[in-house]
Chains A and B, each alone.
Chain A
Amino acid sequence: MIRRRSLLAASTVLLAAPAIVRRAGAQAAFNWQQFKGQTITVSLTKSPRADNLQAHEKEFEALTGINVLSEQMPEQQQRPKMVMELASGRPSFDVTHFSLHVSKRVVGVGHWLEDMRPYLADPKLTSPEYDWADMSAGALRAATQPDGRIDSLPVESDVWLVYYNKQIFADGGVSFPKTFDEMLATARKLTDPAKGVYGFVARGVKNANVPVWTSLLLGQDQETVTPDGKTLLTDTPAAIWAGEMYKSLLRETAPPGVVGFNWNECQTSFMQGKVGMWLDGVGFAPPLLDPKVSKIADHVGFGVMPAGPRAHNCPVFTDAIGIPARSKVKGPAYLYCQWATSKQMALNLVNMGGGASPRQSTYKDPTLMKNNPFGQEWLATLLTSLTIARAGLPEIVPVTEFRDVFGIALTNMIGGADPATELRKATATFRPVLESSLKT
């Protein structure tokens, strides 16, 4: 097989025609059926990504003859369960889907997942069509551990943007804001509690609300920790500015009760047609455009994250998929991971609106460019956002505790607390946690 492929590769070099390369590759027939008959257990986080994977699962089973037992669990349960099971050395799954921005370091420190690099380099296991180099730089960076191991394959990159209600904007005579200050002004203008209309909504519930704050912070060209991950930057003037902005937006222009809103409550509020803007991840778009559940299916707008005083960025969060080092069926598991992150599946994901693809080729696909189900504005916003995307959360081991501590501070701000005080207090509380995590 290798000999044939190198012959064909030589001939394609001579001919240099992509079409022939593809046909040649198909002739070499990567053996998808090499683990036929085996069974793998897949643990998924409940999300549109998981929906996509499960929707196409039968295709994978037909392709490989591998039996798949997959299940979606809400992230609150799936995340701790995954960590506990991996730590104990007896995971009940062969493939795990997880969020890099939550679990990457904790998984990396324990070396609990298989290093994918040998698999990627092995032509017997990786189909030539896979094209690892197609992954965007951001996704690659996210999936690589500090020591160079790549222990997961990126499934999706969720960029953050601002959804807006075109009807409310038209009624209020405003246009989509270009900066955060403009956004605040617009939100204030649109807010009319007597009519039950509010200019803005975003997550207020602790832990989930931190990306909202970091979105604002990225506008000051700053992240929450220094690049080496050792020093907190959460009580700088930029961080306090972002806190003030968060407080004003959610206290003055958001629906009552926002302090308890996670993304699903925000989504519902937005879908009811009562809110002008919703700042969150692009992966939540599909229900908004579904006339069966959304009251505003005809006037949903997608706007790029506004710019801050110093920079124009938006956060990106990557979901990935990996194989436990203790799995007994790593071969079949790897085929699943490969399939799940392949070009076709990435395309499927984007077509069902479940998020942004981590692959560059997806955005060159002609059918996607012409008739995607969410419209040109959505696609344009997505593409622009990908060019300005940056990490939205610090890459540290105790990231959950980080999100809790600062999430609590943010929630207190909505209740009226002073951002500077809260952030300083939270920084002082979290610093020892970060330092102790750097020791191990």
Chain B
Amino acid sequence: MAPPPVKAAVTRGERPPGRRHRYRFRRWIDQAGLYVSVLILVSPSILFFLWMISLSLKTELDNTAYPPVLIPHPPTLDNFIQVFAKNDFLTYTINSVIVSFSATGLALLFGVPAGYGIAKTNATKAAVLILIARVTPGLSYLIPLFLLFQWLGMLGTLYPLVITHLVITVPIVVWIMIGYFEGLPVALEESALVDGATIWQAFRYVAVPLARPGIVVATILSFIFSWNNFIFGVVLAGRTTRTLPVAVYNVLTFEQISWGPLAAAALVVTAPVLLLTLFMQKEIVAGLTAGGVKA
């Protein structure tokens, strides 16, 4: 007679009756501990971004004041105006958008089928190849590629950036898609094949729609990491083909303490991906946690 009530109680998250007082106290400590933990874990992130926003809205006078001022008085949008007026930030934003969208689009085109193929054939060796792409230090292929693009005269265009960004985006897409495709039930595809579809059609009309959440995640993450990339831009970008991370670095290296414009520039550069994260956090979390399972 004892087991069923105990089991039911446990699955409900409670202790069996009879130990309620001690249990409730322990539970309260437990919950308090959880809340404190979460607070500690989350505060570095909150405080940092708050400070970043504060820096960007303060005047130079406020920014060089000591003790530091948190709430600007008065707040000013001058820093943001200066960022766009003094630098060609609009051009750089467009560059970043073009490069990231292209690199992501191409990565999906190549990576989704690749993920499918690798998942189906259980090819760990191919996965290792993708891992090697991740492992290689960027500079190892940057130097020769720089020389190659110089020689081809392509350095004034965005093509070199898109091509090199593929090295980042394709592995991400493949890695995530392997996870998603492996988790798909085979029954639907099997029935399609039995009905006479080619594997390509089974892929395209059955597997892909089913794996759409995975594709969404892969797109988001691939875009974010391409957007954030710095080192390729620093080496390969020309005057008009610079991406935002490179541009914001240029803002630093010669200004004397102009923290306001610098923080504003930093905010402008990272705002798109932060907003993307805020709106798509559920998908991102789902994608990264599911992908982790299969690695």
Tell me the A residues contacting B by CB distance below 8 Å: 41, 43, 46-47, 71, 73-77, 84-85, 88, 90, 92, 264, 267-268, 271-272, 287, 293
Contacts and interface: CB of A to CB of B under 8 A. Distances in A.
A85 B253 contact: no
11 contacts: A71-B239, A74-B254, A77-B234, A77-B250, A88-B147, A88-B150, A90-B151, A90-B153, A92-B156, A264-B254, A293-B256
B238 A92 contact: yes
Given A264-B254, A268-B257, A293-B256, 4 more contacts: A41-B239, A74-B254, A88-B147, A264-B256
Interface string B256-271: 1100000000000000
A363 B151 CA distance: 46
A423 B38 CA distance: 52
B64 interface: yes
B256 A267 contact: yes
A267 B256 CA distance: 7
A293 B60 contact: yes
Contact of A268 (B150, B155, B239, B256): B256
B84 interface: no
B225 interface: no
Interface residues of B, number: 18
Contacts of B147: 88
Nearest to B251: A74
Given A85-B150, A90-B151, A293-B60, A74 B256 contact: no
Nearest to A71: B239
A77 B254 CA distance: 12
Most interface-central of B60, B151, B155 (chain A CB within 10 A): B155
Interface in B226-257: 234, 238-239, 250, 253-257
A107 B114 CA distance: 47
Given A88-B147, A88-B150, A92-B238, A271 B156 contact: no
B256 A46 contact: no
A271 B60 CA distance: 13
A73 B250 contact: yes
B146 interface: yes
B237 to A, nearest CB: 9
**Max chain A CB contacts within 10 Å: which of B146, B239, B254?**
B254
A85 B150 CA distance: 7
Contacts of A85: 150, 155
Contact of A264 (B64, B238, B239, B255): B255
Nearest to B258: A293
Contacts of B151: 88, 90
Contacts of B153: 90
A77 B252 CA distance: 12
Contacts of B234: 77
Interface string B114-148: 00000000000000000000000000000000110
B150 A272 contact: no
Nearest to A69: B239
A272 B61 CA distance: 11
A32 B147 CA distance: 38
Interface string B173-206: 0000000000000000000000000000000000
Contacts of B150: 84-85, 88, 90
A90 B155 CA distance: 10
Contacts of A46: 250, 253-254
Contacts of A77: 234, 250, 253
A287 B234 CA distance: 29
A208 to B, nearest CB: 12
Contacts of B239: 41, 43, 71, 73, 92
Interface in B5-20: none
A235 B98 CA distance: 54
B257 to A, nearest CB: 5
The 9 closest A-B pairs by CB, nearest first: A74-B253, A88-B150, A46-B254, A268-B257, A264-B256, A71-B239, A268-B256, A267-B256, A74-B254
Contacts of B155: 85, 90, 92
Nearest to B152: A90
A213 B279 CA distance: 54
Given A88-B151, A90-B153, A92-B239, A76 B253 contact: yes
Contacts of A267: 256
A237 B199 CA distance: 80
B17 to A, nearest CB: 63
A421 B161 CA distance: 46
Nearest to A47: B254
Contact of B64 (A43, A74, A90, A272): A272
B146 A84 contact: yes
Given A88-B147, A90-B150, A271 B256 contact: yes
A92 B239 CA distance: 9
A77 B147 CA distance: 17
Contacts of A84: 146, 150
Contacts of A47: 254
Contacts of B255: 264
A76 B234 CA distance: 11
Contacts of B238: 92
A193 B123 CA distance: 65
A174 to B, nearest CB: 26
A76 B153 CA distance: 23
B14 to A, nearest CB: 57
Contacts of B250: 46, 73-74, 77
A75 B147 CA distance: 21
Contacts of B256: 264, 267-268, 271, 287, 293
A387 B255 CA distance: 31
Contacts of B253: 46, 74-77
A46 B249 CA distance: 13
Contacts of A76: 253
Contacts of A92: 155-156, 238-239
A75 B253 CA distance: 8
Nearest to B155: A92
B231 to A, nearest CB: 12
Contacts of A268: 256-257
A146 B155 CA distance: 33
A43 B253 CA distance: 17
B64 to A, nearest CB: 7
A264 B153 CA distance: 36
B89 to A, nearest CB: 14
A272 B257 CA distance: 11
A75 B250 CA distance: 10
Q: Which of A43, A75, A268, A287 has the most CB of B within 10 A?
A: A268
